[in-house]
Structure 1
């Protein structure tokens, strides 16, 4: 999953990438804290990593010209493997995965909406 970050950072800029990554991770853990029991384990950066997958899924769906066909296929495969491994592995924080992925997709939408906004 390490290879997902540099491409997103080049697209967003270092500052926006850091903000994006931290936001996805924090949202994943905050929502887990709010909807899961107090004994539910929620540690790590999986929400942020799935946020990156959500970002790339946005590119695959809405910004196809930014990725080659093979990279689009790799992103879809990463997403499927990540979701399946989370669902099949006991103790995985799937709440953070789903929330991070959705946050990444929505933040990508906002980032590209801002980039395409006409200058006055």
Structure 2
């Protein structure tokens, strides 16, 4: 919940409320869909519930925005976000009862949605740039 509060707050300030909600909800759905597909493929069915895929979607979106802003977004560094994602995924793969496919699906979906929804404001001219 701490990650959701701190990272979600930064993402909402950066992209706005509507785009934040889109990234959060779609990442959660995408993460759970990937989890369901992998459960069907492996035949190992498990009950999976939670918002971790959506939280990883926020991390994925912030990673893209940090890359677009030369490694930083506010007080958060892209390198720190990447390490957090790597260590969290590593912990999930070395533990039992963690739905890593939901995490990966949310992370990838958040990154892709940020590519589609984030426009960096050009400081010199006050216009939007696709650089």
TM-score w.r.t. length of structure 2: 0.77
Give the number of aligned pairs: 117
- In 1, distance between residues paired with 2:21 and 2:99? 22
- In 2, distance between residues paired with 1:70 and 1:3? 10
Give the number of the structure whose residues are more often helix, by fraction. Answer: 1
Runs of 4+ in 1 over 3 A off after TM superposition: 113-117
Query: Could you tell me how far 1:56 is from its partner in structure 2?
Result: 1.5
After superposition, residues 1-120 of structure 1 pair within 5 angstroms as 1=3, 2-36=5-39, 37=43, 39-64=45-70, 66-67=72-73, 71-112=77-118, 116=129
Alignment root-mean-square deviation, CA: 2.3
- In 1, distance between residues paired with 2:71 and 2:56? 22
Show structure 1 runs of 5+ residues with no match.
none
Does the 8 A contact of 1:41 with 1:93 survive in 2?
A: no
Greater displacement, 104-113 / 34-43: 34-43
Larger Rg computed on CA atoms: 2
- In 2, distance between residues paired with 1:89 and 1:95? 14
Give the number of the structure whose residues are more often strand, by fraction. Answer: 2
In structure 2, relative to structure 1, the CA distance for the partners of 1:30 and 1:65 (3 Å cut) is closer
Show structure 2 runs of 5+ residues with no match.
121-127
- In 2, distance between residues paired with 1:43 and 1:69? 31
TM-score w.r.t. length of structure 1: 0.83
